[in-house]
Amino acid sequence: MGRVPTYEELLASTRYSAVHLEMRDGYMPSDPAFAAWKDGRLPDPVGDDADFQQWLGWVKNATSRGVEFRRARVVSVPESDYIRFEHFSSQANVEAGENIRWLPRRRATDIALPGNDFWVFDNELVLVLHFTGDGELADRELTRDERVLRLCTDAFEAVWERAVPHEEYRLS
């Protein structure tokens, strides 16, 4: 499909829905906000994190146009440090307009899940995220393949149905 658009471009062109399924227990150990949180130096998840502030702005812009944002996370319990960090920062996502749910991995055993995290935009375009073994983003791939789209949308909806809303999810 050529060049993969930026998140800003993808969200700007989204008309009605953006869903995101996260299935890893750790992401981007190089993230300075994560390091600050681990060291107890991040009392505010938004703080001076320009990238996170930018993301929240894109979400607000899309939701103000009526785009529904849903993010689901399949997590191991007890949760990893990174998942605890995500839980800490997720209220800012919710306030920007995202609807977030959490599913303990043990409750996902009978769900057919793709091998990679992904986004689905407007139920027609899938952005597949490829990570290295230690959680750094390696590559992004855009596809309209109907089989991939069906697998991703079915997996997301199955997870969403079972998952616990953010405001009710308690870390172990």
The dihedral formed by the CA atoms of 76, 118, 122 and 66, expressed in degrees to the nearest 10 = 50
Query: What pTM value is reported for the model?
Result: 0.95
- Set out the domains of the chain in order of their start, with CATH numbers: 7-168 (3.30.870.10)
The confidence score (pLDDT) of residue 48 equals: 79
Region 28-46: what's the mean pLDDT?
Answer: 90
| Tens-place pLDDT, residues 97-130 | 999 999 999 999 999 999 999 999 999 999 999 9
Q: What is the mean pLDDT of the chain?
A: 95
CA–CA separation, 67 and 6 (whole Å) = 17
| Residues 6+ away with beta carbon under 8 Å from 117 | 20, 21, 22, 23, 24, 128, 129, 131
